[in-house]
Structure 1
Amino acid sequence: MTTAPAQREYFLDSIRAWLMLLGIPFHISLIYSSHTWHVNSIEPSWWLTLFNDFIHAFRMQVFFVISGYFSYMLFLRYPLKRWWKVRVERVGIPMLTAIPLLTLPQFMMLQYVKGKAQNWHTLTPYEKYNTLVWELVSHLWFLLVLVVLTTVSLWIFSRLRQRLSARADRFFAHITLGKLSLLFLLLGIAYAALRRALFIAWPPILSDGLFNFVVMQTLFYLPFFLIGALAFVYPRLKALFTTPSPWCAVAAALAFIAYLLNQRYGSGEAWMYETESVITMLMGLWMVNVVFALGHRLLNFESKRVTYFVNASLFIYLVHHPLTLFFGAYITPHIASNALGFLAGLVFVIGIALVLYEIHLRIPLLRFLFSGKPQNKVASIKVRG
């Protein structure tokens, strides 16, 4: 058992940043996919649909493993209340900032783009509330889930630190990917059973935005968050993820095929969503090995360029969503080629996001609001004539 990493985990910082930035091609490809979204191209693209499905099937599972790893690392550094305050500020302040500055204007724009603004008064009070929850939280959902997981972990991490024992050491000293796969299979089945029970007992609850984010999403990603925390504690577990496993790569590929078949032939009125939860629970675990092993080999170094994108990733992720929807609503209809539109969308969104990031760096209040960190004074920039 260990309580501190031997060195800075550059590859984990990099993976976390690139997983967030992968949200840009994910949402732009969603415009051109066969999935119904806020805005869609006239004709869907099969390869962009495949690309979109692949990212969706594993990205956030790996992200929450890394979040759990760093959360427990910081938990051991700070007093309990200080840890909770720091973690909640880091994710809660940017989330609360983005709602009025980004997702609210985005929601208003979409009301006019989709021609629904005139129908707002016909909705019941609950329908208005639920619509606002879905639309204003939008792509910020993972920040809300992190706030919930951090709060729940006040108890979980405290118990984990107190209950670490020789028995647990022996268990994790002999842990294998096969045992982990069996565990995550059972967790996926348990989650699917809970969802099906709710669907039978009270179907409307699954359409409630707040319940979906706070309860269902939190429950799904909790195992990944905890396995990340345990990977910080137990070197054997971390080594399983950072050592390349051909078995995991093949299993992840087969899980993705199963995911596609379920998307193609499943029915929302039957067991499609429950089946998907089992598949993505397992695929997420196996992709942790694939992504960590590649990242450990290719990204475990210090680089000013990588550090720049690590620092910029959250801001870019927050602003990319309204930029993507603007592109989809007003520019996509004028580009006949889906491939060209996808590439143009990447240039448009990333280019403007980087400009906005550089602008926000020069405004202390915005730097604080979009990072949740107290800001030091920035050295004055001298302009040579």
Structure 2
Amino acid sequence: MSNVPAQREYFLDSIRAWLMLLGIPFHISLIYSSHIWHVNSAESSWWLTLFNDFIHAFRMQVFFVISGYFSYMLFLRYPLKKWWKVRVERVGIPMLTAIPLLTLPQFMMLQYVKGKTETWHTLSLYEKYNTLVWELTSHLWFLLVLTILTTAGLWLFSLLRRRQEQQQGVLLARLTLSKLTLIFFLLGIAYAALRRTLLIVYAPVLSDGLFNFVVMQTLFYIPFFILGALAFINPRLKELFTTPSPWCLAGAIVGFVAYLLNQRYGSGDAWMYETESVITMVFGLWMVNVVFSFGHRLLNFQSARVTYFVNASLFIYLVHHPLTLFFGAYITPQISSNTLGFFTGLVFVVGCALVLYEIHLRIPLLRFLFSGKPQTKQDKSAVTAR
């Protein structure tokens, strides 16, 4: 269809890849932060804690905006059923592949490292089920959420297209960053109110892994997913994000400070998580402008090296998590310096991930399982040409 842009959005491809790859320093820094994780260093590092908090506060919000943008672009390219099939295969097949090949071995390793293998039989049936949901979904949760959002997109995107046609291409023409800030602030309050209501009515549901991923995570990120689709529909809205805004930059700084203060002085027994949802909802919106504007200026070009990492980013993200946990469990205790350990971890995880990526490229079945894309003769010739 004519709505699909002729020129590839190189800067959005690059940003999406960088956000995916940021998962590596995020999880390695988590080892050395003051946050409790599967594996931690003997002492925490203040700067790695700060670094970890910064990445965590905005990364996935911006990622889901880009996902919504490209999802709607493909929505206009394919018939409805084929669009759903293509999108679900692209995210669902790698997720289902990673569970037995990556997160299950990762879970078994952690059970051994933590010495919990002897107590597994003491857990109730539900506790075993819930533990497996949390541990096997692990860092794959965003693929599950994308699958749900794609299914919801069958209705949402059809509605957006009808509205666009009815309004003769001026959907949300008067939308501004100020209005968006107010909207996302109210959405954050609504999400916080829902969480507090669930906590009062039936608190255990918030500890249920499946409910957390399918309901709570989906509800939090669906505004960003829709925002990405709207940015594709409305060029003016996209321009708002790709044009540097001093107010968004200043707001992002204030928002991150508020996030840190809530992390340091908030109480999980009080309103810490509700406050965090409001802060990260608005902070994430402002960071869309910051990331898009810098990315549009610095990353809007074609490069063979960038294309390589764009193509490799999902695979590297999938395999980095068990590699990181292996590093944290067996190598971190041997390195006394947190800073040295962090950079050693980056070299170890990225190096191993790249080797595994090159190996999987040469095995057609693995290429399909970790990409969800049917392998064509063109794909095989491209591998041969490397």
**What TM-score results when the alignment is normalised by the length of structure 1?**
0.97
**Residues 251-279 of structure 1, C-alpha deviation per residue, up to 9 Å, x if partnerless?**
00100000000001111111000000000
Match of 1:341 in 2: 341
Task: Summarize the Cα distance change of 1:6–1:241 in structure 2 as closer, same or farther, 3 Å threshold.
Answer: farther
Match of 1:51 in 2: 51
Give the residue type in structure 1 aligned to 2:38: H
Match of 1:8 in 2: 8
For residue 76 of structure 1, give the secondary structure of its aligned residue in structure 2.
helix
How high is the sequence identity, in percent, across the aligned residues?
80
Match of 1:324 in 2: 324
Distance between the aligned counterparts of 1:382 and 1:21, measured in 2? 25
Give the residue type in structure 2 aligned to 1:346: L
Match of 1:361 in 2: 361
Match of 1:142 in 2: 142
Match of 2:74 in 1: 74
Distance between the aligned counterparts of 1:76 and 1:87, measured in 2? 13
For residue 172 of structure 1, give the secondary structure of its aligned residue in structure 2.
coil
Distance between the aligned counterparts of 1:168 and 1:128, measured in 2? 54
Task: Summarize the Cα distance change of 1:362–1:19 in structure 2 as closer, same or farther, 3 Å threshold.
Answer: same
Task: Summarize the Cα distance change of 1:168–1:342 in structure 2 as closer, same or farther, 3 Å threshold.
Answer: farther
Distance between the aligned counterparts of 1:382 and 1:294, measured in 2? 33
Match of 1:294 in 2: 294
**Residues 65-88 of structure 1, C-alpha deviation per residue, up to 9 Å, x if partnerless?**
000000000000101110000000
The question of 1:115 aligning with 2:100 is answered no
**Residues 124-160 of structure 1, C-alpha deviation per residue, up to 9 Å, x if partnerless?**
0000000000000000000000000000111111111
The question of 1:236 aligning with 2:236 is answered yes
Match of 2:182 in 1: 182
Give the residue type in structure 1 aligned to 2:352: I
Cα pair 2:181 2:285 within 8 Å, conserved: yes
Distance between the aligned counterparts of 1:366 and 1:6, measured in 2? 31
Distance between the aligned counterparts of 1:247 and 1:202, measured in 2? 40
Matching of residues 158-307 of structure 1 within 5 Å: 158-164=158-164, 170=170, 172-307=172-307
Cα displacement (A) at 1:164: 2.1
Cα pair 2:163 2:171 within 8 Å, conserved: no
For residue 257 of structure 1, give the secondary structure of its aligned residue in structure 2.
helix
Distance between the aligned counterparts of 1:313 and 1:51, measured in 2? 21
RMSD: 1.4
Cα pair 2:170 2:234 within 8 Å, conserved: no
Cα displacement (A) at 1:6: 4.8
For residue 8 of structure 1, give the secondary structure of its aligned residue in structure 2.
coil
Give the residue type in structure 2 aligned to 1:271: W
Give the residue type in structure 2 aligned to 1:83: W
**Residues 174-200 of structure 1, C-alpha deviation per residue, up to 9 Å, x if partnerless?**
221000000000000000000000000
Matching of residues 89-104 of structure 1 within 5 Å: 89-104=89-104
Distance between the aligned counterparts of 1:62 and 1:47, measured in 2? 23
Distance between the aligned counterparts of 1:203 and 1:172, measured in 2? 38
Which consecutive aligned stretches of 4+ in structure 1 deviate over 3 angstroms post-superposition?
165-171, 379-383
Distance between the aligned counterparts of 2:211 and 2:152, measured in 1? 16
Cα pair 1:259 1:280 within 8 Å, conserved: yes
The question of 1:61 aligning with 2:54 is answered no
Cα pair 1:5 1:232 within 8 Å, conserved: no
Unaligned 5+ segments in structure 2 are none
For residue 172 of structure 2, give the secondary structure of its aligned residue in structure 1.
helix
Cα displacement (A) at 1:163: 2.2
Give the residue type in structure 2 aligned to 1:84: W
Distance between the aligned counterparts of 1:16 and 1:92, measured in 2? 18
For residue 373 of structure 2, give the secondary structure of its aligned residue in structure 1.
coil
Task: Summarize the Cα distance change of 1:382–1:207 in structure 2 as closer, same or farther, 3 Å threshold.
Answer: closer
Cα pair 1:3 1:232 within 8 Å, conserved: no
Cα pair 1:71 1:229 within 8 Å, conserved: yes
**What TM-score results when the alignment is normalised by the length of structure 2?**
0.97
Give the residue type in structure 2 aligned to 1:194: L
Cα pair 2:106 2:322 within 8 Å, conserved: yes
Distance between the aligned counterparts of 2:35 and 2:9, measured in 1? 37
Q: When the two structures are aligned, how many residues end up with a matched partner? A: 382
Give the residue type in structure 2 aligned to 1:121: H
Unaligned 5+ segments in structure 1 are none
Cα displacement (A) at 1:307: 0.1
Give the residue type in structure 2 aligned to 1:113: V
Give the residue type in structure 2 aligned to 1:255: G
